[in-house]
């Protein structure tokens, strides 16, 4: 048994001698995980590949697939630099193929590159511009729309603050406000189609929370969106008769349909709200006169008997879509 052992030992010794004289150990790659800021500019170096060789031979470094298009390596030192813009939003971990060689052997390896977040995206408004129509009687505090912006960064680089930087005309500055954290635009003061502007332009700013990685200073990104707000008239003003009081006269024996006088009212609202319908609301002698619904022309409706009704008739005239009574009566005499 001991003779056998010695025989084996002898064989091993021979192999060992060959190894010492001829064999060369391959270099080994010692570090395989590296952190890299995603905002590292092209050309800047990011890390040095850690590798050793048992014989202390000089090592040379080269890159290979995958992702060798993103980095360059200095062949004698293993110093890696950025060759193409990196983007963490595409993927936050990337692999990098590397080959480390000594005089006669080479060791392939895959490095893992962890991309660190920088603020490198600007906020983007969704569905801008924000064009809306609102009626002039919209209640103060009403939510008008949400100017939502999104940011592809994570952490503080994606936290967006909103502001209204400008209102045109500037008289509207107090009429609109934005919730800084949500971008919700609200009505902050009363509109008035007749007395104030009927059109406003808001300049809305979304600024991200900033961030830094490769650089020492924090950088922020902002975007601008516009909102065009059109104020729509609502019928909130009473029509008014012009040229009051109305006085007309008519012969007592005038035939039916004889014109007496025409009254005219104007709606102070503009746009579609100025349709006025005329009617006789009251008369001291009912049934004697009629009025044209559309043009306010008052005419004789039935035979006038002055002995029965006296010298004057008072008419109260109104417009129909509003129930307000008008200026006192025109009167007719014969
Ligand atoms: C708008 O302004 C006019 C004139 O100042 C005023 O008479 C009217 O009541 C106002 N309308 C509203 C809805 O405040
Ligand atoms: C948006 O607002 C921020 C903070 O006030 C400001 O620094 C930035 O210049 C504004 N952006 C634009 C495009 O005006």
Q: Which of 195, 196, 270 to mutate to test the pocket of ligand 1 (most atoms within 8 A of CB)?
A: 195
The pLDDT score that the predictor gives to residue 155 is 82
Is the CB of residue 233 less than 8 Å from the CB of residue 271? yes
| Residue in the structure block whose two tokens are 């040229």 | 243
C-alpha of residue 295 to centroid of ligand 1, in Å: 27
Closest listed ligand to the CA of 238: 1
Residues of the chain with pLDDT > 90: what percent? 56
Work out which ligand 2 atom sits closest to the CA atom of 206.
1
C-alpha of residue 221 to centroid of ligand 2, in Å: 8
Mean pLDDT for 297-312 is 82
pLDDT digits (tens, 9 = 90+) for 66-110: 999 999 999 999 999 999 999 888 889 999 999 999 988 999 999
Closest listed ligand to the CA of 122: 2
- Mean confidence (pLDDT) of the chain: 86
Band of residue 252 on the pLDDT scale cut at 50, 70, 90: confident
The pLDDT score that the predictor gives to residue 332 is 36
Nearest CA to ligand 2 atom 1: 205
Band of residue 144 on the pLDDT scale cut at 50, 70, 90: very high
The pLDDT score that the predictor gives to residue 2 is 46
What's the CA gap between 92 and 115, in Å, rounded?
5
What's the CA gap between 101 and 310, in Å, rounded?
127
The pLDDT score that the predictor gives to residue 237 is 67
CA-based torsion, 285, 287, 289, 292: positive or negative: positive
pLDDT digits (tens, 9 = 90+) for 11-28: 555 454 444 545 788 999
The pLDDT score that the predictor gives to residue 233 is 87
The pLDDT score that the predictor gives to residue 333 is 33
The pLDDT score that the predictor gives to residue 22 is 56
C-alpha of residue 198 to centroid of ligand 1, in Å: 13
C-alpha of residue 224 to centroid of ligand 2, in Å: 8
| 147 pLDDT more than 50 | yes
Highest mean pLDDT among 194-198, 240-244, 253-257, 330-334: 194-198
Evaluate: CB of 207 within 6 angstroms of ligand 2.
yes
The pLDDT score that the predictor gives to residue 273 is 58
Ligand 1 binding pocket, CB closer than 6 Å: 137, 190, 192, 194-195, 236
Closest listed ligand to the CA of 204: 2
Evaluate: CB of 283 within 6 angstroms of ligand 2.
no
Nearest CA to ligand 1 atom 1: 192
pTM comes to 0.66
| 167 pLDDT more than 60 | yes
| 309 pLDDT more than 90 | no
The pLDDT score that the predictor gives to residue 80 is 98
C-alpha of residue 189 to centroid of ligand 1, in Å: 13
List the one residue out of 147, 160, 277, 266 whose CA is nearest residue 221: 160
Residue 332 CA, distance from chain mean position: 64
Q: Which structural domains are found in the chain, ordered by start?
A: 28-116 (2.60.40.60), 124-232 (2.60.40.60), 240-333 (2.60.40.60)
* DSSP collapsed to 3 states, the chain: CHHHHHHHHHHHHHHHHHHHHHCCCCCEECCCEEEEECCCCCCCEEEECCEECCCCCCCEEEEECCCCCCEEECCCCCEEEECCCCCCCCCCEEEEEEEEECCCCEEEEEEEEEEECCCCCCCEECCCCEEEEEECCCCCCCEEEECCEECCCCHHHHCCEEEEEEEECHHHCCCEEECCCCCEEEECCCCCCCCCCCEEEEEEEEECCCECCCCCCCECCEEEEEEEEEEECCCCCCCEEECCCCEEECCCCCCCCCEEEECEEECCCCHHHCCCCEEEEEECCCCCEEECCCCCEEEECCCCCHHHHCCEEEEEEEECCCCCCCCCCEEEEC
Residue 54 or 241, more confident: 54
Mean pLDDT for 318-332 is 44
Mean pLDDT for 281-310 is 84
pLDDT digits (tens, 9 = 90+) for 203-228: 999 999 999 999 989 999 999 999 99
Mean pLDDT for 250-279 is 79
Closest listed ligand to the CA of 180: 2
């Amino acid at each position: 048994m001991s003779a056998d052992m010695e025989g084996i030992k002898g064989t091993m010794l021979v192999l060992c001698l060959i190894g010492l004289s001829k064999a060369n150990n391959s270099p080994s790659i010692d570090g395989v995980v590296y952190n890299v800021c995603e905002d590292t500019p092209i050309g800047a170096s990011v890390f040095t590949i850690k590798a050793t060789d048992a014989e202390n031979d000089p090592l040379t470094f080269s890159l290979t697939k995958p992702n060798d298009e993103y980095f360059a390596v200095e062949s004698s030192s293993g110093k890696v630099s950025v060759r193409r813009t990196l983007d963490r939003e595409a993927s936050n971990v990337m692999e990098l193929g590397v080959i480390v060689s000594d005089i006669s052997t080479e060791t392939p390896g895959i490095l893992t590159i962890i991309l660190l977040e920088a603020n490198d995206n600007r906020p983007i408004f969704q569905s801008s511009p924000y064009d809306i129509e609102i009626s002039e009687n919209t209640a103060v505090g009403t939510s008008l729309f949400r100017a939502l912006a999104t940011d592809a960064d994570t952490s503080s680089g994606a936290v967006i603050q909103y502001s209204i930087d400008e209102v045109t005309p500037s008289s509207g500055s107090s009429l609109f406000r934005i919730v800084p954290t949500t971008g919700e635009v609200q009505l902050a003061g009363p509109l008035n189609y007749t007395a104030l502007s009927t059109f406003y332009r808001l300049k809305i700013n979304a600024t991200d929370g900033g961030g830094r990685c490769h650089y020492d200073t924090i950088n922020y990104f902002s975007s601008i969106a516009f909102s065009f707000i059109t104020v729509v008239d609502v019928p909130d003003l009473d029509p008014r008769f012009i040229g009051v009081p109305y006085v007309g006269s008519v012969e007592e024996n005038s035939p039916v349909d004889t014109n007496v006088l025409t009254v005219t009212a104007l709606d102070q609202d503009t746009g579609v709200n100025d349709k006025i319908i005329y009617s006789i609301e009251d008369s001291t002698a009912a049934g004697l006169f009629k009025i044209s619904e559309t043009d306010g022309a008052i005419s004789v409706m039935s035979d006038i008997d002055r002995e029965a009704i006296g010298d004057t008739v008072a008419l109260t005239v109104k417009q129909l879509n509003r129930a307000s009574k008008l200026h006192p009566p025109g009167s007719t005499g014969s």
